[in-house]
Chain A
């Protein structure tokens, strides 16, 4: 909601690049790191006369996987159509896409927005091929085209207009991203355009059942852009309407630098789609056995995993949410928790120490210099009181910067002192050495307790168990009263 009395109605279309090795209708690699322009092309990609598309089975498998995870109905028969438009990013003059008979219909994303569970329905998920990339050279009045991306498999996920605010849109997009990456359906890389979002947005007076004029908003390919872009577009629409103006149905582009949306001149203006079933491709048939086979391989989904971390491992809802932000993070946590046998300890260390240092260096957990087994080794030493928590933190900092093994660090620095007789003797020595302070304590200076603890810690070079020292200082001071 933007201004009092107004409500936004938002639907999202998210294009997700499927994680296949090859393109959707031909055997050329879908992507390769550092591939030069037009080196991932073949006669099908280039739309040469006489070639025929042949559907990649893995594309369908991944789309079924996503559909099942989102509770969609998988159509036993679906169809590919040709979507025609006059634009050079697809050399054959049309895009192969599913139109009136998509592979998946229905389903929903269930997620939390501001602590409240919300269910956003999906309309459909369909298969299509990506287009090439055009770069416009205004100076020389020409366009340059790279077809590496043309024919890369995508699913387009279309939501119902169930979202009511930028916060809803961000939550939906994040939940979708978590699901596609947890399923391994896509790498979800947003910088490379492998997870792209467009929004349809309109506003209306609260309580008005009619829909307002909708605008398609593009260039909102990050969670932040979705939030900010929609916020500004909603405010713009409300301003126009409150000033007595009219909105036109159009495509607008979010300009992050300027913080405004602008009308867009696009290939959308060049559409005359004239959809018809692609005669080169047969009806796509998916039988029940295939669907059940895929269903049997579905991993635990992010929301279920979050819930299990709360129910079975005793984490707080907040901790469970942070630790299931990505499948890699949740895997890391589970590995550590299992090895240490203390989920809460593992959760605290991952969130407090590890994520802090990773964020500072801008690293994902996959690239952590401290692998899960190493952190587990450290936490076992902490659990068994071979290290105090202060020592463990010092050790962890070195593990992170120089990959030292916890056992080696322990050998170099010495273990925590927990032996009762040793500690008792150290405390007695500290009291013996400071009779004036002992008298002071007995005269009522309670804060001197900390002084004695400090003396013992200093004597032990930080290795005495601080909790035990604290208790022993207390009891020995009482004994000497």
Chain B
């Protein structure tokens, strides 16, 4: 399979660093291939003449739903923390990021 055009290549190591994922060499190769195939699939659009065609962000034309500015009760802290991998009873605890 041909490689995707270079400007579409995704730098897997960069993305993995940002996402704080540690990938070994085999995983990196595998994901790179998988993502390249996705990009190639989308790149088929380039074969069409799309001048003047509005990008489709929604398949169905719908109007926005509105909410009035009226408050509803929030979650309790227990509920809020229920799925958290870690918390200290007040805050969510995550690995240090900066």
Contact = CB atoms under 8 A, between A and B. Distances in A.
A28 interface: yes
A36 B63 CA distance: 37
A196 B94 CA distance: 26
Interface in A133-180: 134-138, 141-147
Given A42-B74, A142-B94, A143-B95, A57 B68 contact: yes
A29 B93 CA distance: 23
Contacts of B98: 134, 136, 143, 265-267
B75 A43 contact: yes
Contacts of A147: 80, 92
Interface residues of A, number: 53
Contacts of B90: 36-38, 144, 146
Interface stretch (A282-290, A360-368, A385-393, A424-432): A282-290
B50 interface: no
Contacts, number: 129
A41 interface: yes
Chain B residues touching A, majority SS: loop
B41 interface: no
Contacts of B68: 56-58
B93 A144 contact: yes
Interface in B26-48: none
Interface in B59-98: 62-72, 74-75, 77, 80-81, 83, 88, 90-98
Given A39-B74, A277-B57, A282 B64 contact: yes
A135 B93 CA distance: 10
Contacts of A277: 55, 57
Contacts of B91: 37-38, 135, 144-146
B71 A22 contact: yes
B1 interface: no
A56 B95 CA distance: 33
A28 B80 contact: no
Nearest to A35: B74
A38 B80 CA distance: 8
Chain A residues touching B, majority SS: loop
A88 interface: yes
Given A27-B72, A28-B72, A272-B15, A54 B96 contact: no
A46 B80 CA distance: 8
Contacts of A267: 97-98
A38 B15 CA distance: 29
Interface of A: 20-22, 25-29, 36-43, 46, 48, 54-59, 79, 86-88, 134-138, 141-147, 265-267, 270, 272, 276-277, 279, 281-285
A213 to B, nearest CB: 24
B53 interface: no
Contacts of B74: 28-29, 39-42
B14 interface: yes
Nearest to A59: B69
Contacts of B57: 79, 276-277, 279, 283
A79 B70 CA distance: 23
25 contacts: A26-B67, A27-B71, A27-B72, A43-B75, A46-B75, A57-B66, A57-B68, A59-B69, A86-B18, A86-B19, A86-B20, A136-B96, A136-B98, A141-B95, A142-B96, A146-B90, A146-B92, A267-B97, A277-B55, A282-B62, A282-B65, A283-B57, A283-B64, A284-B64, A285-B64
A27 B72 CA distance: 5
B92 A57 contact: no
